[in-house]
A and B are shown apart, each in its own frame.
Chain A
Amino acid sequence: MSAPDPESQPIADFKSRLDLFRLLCQAAAALAVLTLGWILYEIIYGAWPSINKFGWNFLTTAAWVPNREKFGVLPFIIGTVASSGIAILLAFPLGISIAIFLNENFLARPVRQTVRFVVEMLASIPSVVYGLWGIFVVIPLVKGFGDWATVHLSGVPIFSGPAYGNSLLTASIVLAIMILPTITAISRNSLAAVPHTLREGAYALGATRWEAILGVIVPSAAPGLVAATILALGRAMGETMAVAMLIGNSSRLSWSVLSPSGTLAGLLANQFGEATGMQVNSLMYAALILVLITLLVNLAGEAILRYTQRKTAGIH
């Protein structure tokens, strides 16, 4: 018996055999990548007649009259930006302070874990349940505030009357609660990634706890906090059901946060089911704008997050 030949049959077989499973996995990965392109292609394809007909005017016209084939989404773009902007203004201070709270040891661990659990629970409640809750809790509150504000703050344009329950403010408040988990989770991660030595250095120089937090820890984590805010903005812009149920879905432009408004996502939710002809194409066009805005916002957030992670990598 001689030693086996290195080029013997089994090994050659093994080398030349096509790895079918590898191909299958590769195909799945390619499909996952193609999905994004496919989504964009289908939306552009569906929107094409409307893009041809209205062009850029679609973005700058304030008219949505399906039976006269007049379409322009300016009010909905403004409503999307305004509602998510106000939501960020409300959620940012809350989210950052929860992140700081979870990162410090003000209260005992069980309390912190409860707060953390509650914030995570907020993320898991379905959007439509927020909508239902908003109808019965937030709308009456905002209506009450609005009735008061239109009388006592009548000089301020954003509080001009008449006050409605289904308003920009209502939608923004509920949106703020919904994006709180996003802001908190990402901010907390970036605060926790700040090296301990920086905090110890600040204490050694005689800083109080909050001087260390605000002067050293928060600035070091700042890019992460910005990324958290941007990613939350992206979520708020795409949020559909709760907003569609609370904002009033109006295409009228108004300065007041107490009047009904509309968002791109809400427009799609309300009209897609019964749309025909050019209305479908125009809704696809609106969907295209929404996708492009959210993709852009998310890319920016992702880029900042990566930059932060590279910056803090390796420091302990």
Chain B
Amino acid sequence: MDNIGTHSLDFFKTDKHEASRALSRSLQNRFLTLLCIALSLATLVPLVSIVILVLKNGLPLLSLHIFTELPPAAGMAGGGFGNAIIGTLVMVGIALAIAAPVGILSAIYINEYAPISRLAKTVRLVAKLLTGIPSIICGVFAFAIVVMRTGYFSAYAGGVALAVLMLPTILLTAEQALTGVQSAYREASYGLGATRFQTIIRVVLPDALPAIMTGIMLAVARAAGETAPLIFTALFSQYWANSLSEPTASLSVLIYNFSTVPFPHQIQMAWTASLVLVAFVTAANIIAQTAFSRKH
């Protein structure tokens, strides 16, 4: 009897080493969880810091005339950056006019006409590689094909640089959008006697349009914030632009130029321009992700 009793009690008598091992494993588990949470919440710090500084330094100068006046000369007070806002919009517009047709038509080709052809595979790979190309290289390219050939810095050159930047985003998101269209729609359309062209234009594209628009808005948001492709293609201008073939101001280049000068007023204006730019980019991103979301 005793024997059995001690044996069964032995079962509950846990090994000392075993107990301390279990404790240390449990503590290690807790510690790593806390560390992971702490590191993840630490990412809030830079974003909060950026948002607070942009608001704190940008809001005081924010007023209506900042959108309608020209940038002040070095050391002067007052002024705005109306020409830079228009310049950014115009150049993003030129870029969109080039990149959107090429991107969407390519996506139609590689998804609707020849999805497993060698050209389609190459297009996908090239688009992936183009996404990885540094944005300043788009500027170098536009410098070579526009600025060096025409002999002057221009809004066209900036637009071309931004178009190269936008192309892969638009192409890849448009392809995904087309992939998302159910094949039953296409089959039904063919079944009704529609040609391939009619199917694409009347059935596939309308269904994919919201997702394609999302891609375009994302590309617009990215391009509007870019400085590197514009800095030596569109350059900068203190004045209102009379044509597309002259140096053109943009918000991002204005921030860059004004951030390195020793005048407090200009630096404050750089913050205000940052506020406007961040607001625009965020708005474009939010529109991209909500307004055009597919309702199925």
Residues of A within 8 A of B (CB): 14, 19, 21-22, 24-33, 35-36, 38-39, 42-43, 45-46, 93-94, 97-98, 100-102, 104, 106-107, 115, 118-119, 121-122, 124-133, 135-137, 177, 180, 208-211, 213-214, 231, 234-235, 237-241, 245, 265, 268-269, 272-273, 283-284, 287, 290-291, 294-295, 297-299, 301-302
Contacts and interface: CB of A to CB of B under 8 A. Distances in A.
Contact of B221 (A42, A93, A124, A291): A124
Contacts of A133: 49-50, 53-54
Contacts of A94: 39, 42-43
Nearest to B259: A132
B36 A97 contact: yes
Contact of A272 (B41, B140, B171, B224): B140
Contact of A126 (B138, B171, B226): B226
B129 interface: yes
Nearest to A114: B44
9 contacts: A101-B37, A115-B44, A119-B43, A126-B227, A131-B255, A235-B132, A240-B227, A245-B259, A294-B132
Interface stretch (B6-14, B60-68, B117-125): B117-125
B97 interface: no
Contacts of A287: 136-137, 140
A213 B33 CA distance: 11
Given A22-B196, A240-B134, A241-B227, 18 more contacts: A19-B197, A24-B105, A25-B108, A32-B127, A35-B126, A46-B140, A97-B39, A107-B37, A115-B40, A125-B50, A126-B252, A127-B226, A241-B228, A273-B231, A290-B136, A294-B133, A295-B129, A298-B132
Interface string B140-173: 1101110010000000000000001001000100
A129 B113 contact: no
Given A33-B126, A128-B252, A131-B259, A115 B41 contact: yes
B198 to A, nearest CB: 10
Contacts of A106: 33, 36-37
Contact of B44 (A107, A118, A137): A118
B282 interface: yes
A26 B113 CA distance: 9
A43 B137 CA distance: 9
Interface string B208-244: 0000000000000110111110011001000000000
Contacts of B35: 97
A25 B105 contact: yes
Given A124-B285, A133-B49, A272-B143, A97 B40 contact: yes
B81 interface: no
B102 A46 contact: no
Interface string B274-293: 10011001100100000000
Interface size class of B (residues with CB under 8 A): 35 or more
A311 B115 CA distance: 23
A268 B282 contact: no
A43 B133 CA distance: 13
Given A118-B43, A127-B225, A129-B277, A245 B260 contact: yes
Contact of A33 (B122, B133, B252): B122
Looking at A129, A213, A241, the one whose CB has the most chain B CB atoms below 10 A away is A129
B140 A299 contact: no
B32 interface: yes
A125 B284 CA distance: 12
Contacts of B103: 28, 32
Interface stretch (B21-29, B70-78, B182-190): B21-29
Nearest to B37: A106
Contact of B46 (A122, A283, A291, A295): A122
B37 A22 contact: no
Given A101-B36, A115-B40, A239-B134, A299 B106 contact: no
Contact of A14 (B148, B171, B195, B252): B195
Contacts of A29: 105-106, 109-110, 119-120, 123
Contacts of B53: 133, 136-137
Contacts of A298: 128-129, 132
A129 B25 contact: no
B200 interface: yes
Contact of A132 (B32, B40, B274): B274
